[in-house]
């Protein structure tokens, strides 16, 4: 009576969406400036390069120098001005210095107030991710309830799958909490 592949598909979709939510959160955290030079901060910076919007990482070598300075060496020196302009208009908040060959981004030390603001931002992002996880759980449960109401699932089977869903979501929420705690520790470490 029960089409196992349908339930498996619901569970696999749930797992996939939960994993993607955590991945997106980690990517967002990578772009938060924590007082140390991090090449990922440039991931979303796009440069108009011969009419095509191109990520900086695809047109330059990005290296960390002395822990607090990013050095951007474009493969095509003519793109230097475009990269500099793209960084200035981005939301990075660091003014680039251009010496004609490379662009340097020097990361200033974070003040205590800025650290606290970043921790608040991180916690808010973590809460948003948890809300997304709960919405994913709700969608999966709605699909399972529909199967139960259509008599494709018995009460016992539904209860069993409900426990599986809850377990997966609880694990995902715990993972989010650990990712948030790790980023908080990174920000607060002087």
Domains of the chain: 4-31+111-188 (1.10.132.20), 39-106 (3.30.1360.40)
Cα 171 to Cα 22, 100, 126, 131, 162: the distances in Å are: 11, 50, 14, 14, 14
Using CB atoms within 10 Å of the CB of residue 103, give its burial: 0 to 12 exposed, 13 to 18 middle, 19+ buried.
buried
pLDDT digit string, tens, across residues 76-135: 888 889 998 998 888 777 888 888 889 998 887 878 888 888 899 999 999 999 999 999
Using CB atoms within 10 Å of the CB of residue 187, give its burial: 0 to 12 exposed, 13 to 18 middle, 19+ buried.
buried
- The pLDDT of residue 19 is 94
Dist. CA 56–CA 114, nearest whole Å: 27
Mean pLDDT, all residues of the chain: 87
pLDDT digit string, tens, across residues 124-181: 999 999 999 999 999 999 999 998 888 888 888 889 999 999 999 999 999 999 999 9
Instruction: Name the percent of the chain lying above pLDDT 70.
Output: 96
CB 161 within 8 A of CB 168: no
User: Please, which residues bridge with residue 60 across strands?
Assistant: 74
Backbone φ and ψ of 66, nearest 5°:
55, 25
Cα 112 to Cα 117, 148, 186: the distances in Å are: 9, 54, 13
Q: What angle do CA 142, 145, 146 make, to 5 degrees?
A: 85
* 132-135 long-range Cβ contacts below 8 angstroms, 24+ apart: 132/21, 133/18, 133/21, 133/169, 133/172, 133/173, 133/176, 134/169
């Amino acid at each position: 009576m029960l089409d196992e592949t349908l339930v498996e598909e619901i569970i696999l979709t749930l797992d996939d969406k939960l994993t993607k939510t955590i991945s997106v959160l980690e990517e967002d955290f990578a772009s938060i400036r924590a007082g140390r030079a991090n090449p990922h901060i440039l991931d979303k910076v796009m440069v108009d390069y011969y009419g095509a919007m191109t990520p900086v990482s695809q047109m330059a070598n990005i290296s960390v120098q002395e822990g607090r300075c990013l050095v951007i060496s474009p493969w095509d020196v003519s793109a230097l001005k475009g990269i500099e302009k793209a960084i200035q208009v981005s939301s990075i908040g660091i003014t680039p210095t251009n010496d004609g060959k490379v662009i340097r981004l020097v990361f200033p030390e974070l003040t205590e107030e800025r650290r606290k603001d970043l921790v608040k931002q991180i916690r808010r992002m973590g809460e948003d991710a948890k809300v997304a996880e709960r919405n994913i759980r709700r969608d999966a449960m709605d699909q399972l309830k529909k199967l139960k109401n259509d008599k494709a699932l018995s009460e016992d089977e539904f209860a069993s799958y409900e426990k599986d869903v809850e377990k997966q979501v609880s694990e995902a929420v715990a993972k989010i909490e650990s990712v948030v705690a790790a980023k908080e520790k990174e920000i607060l470490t002087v």
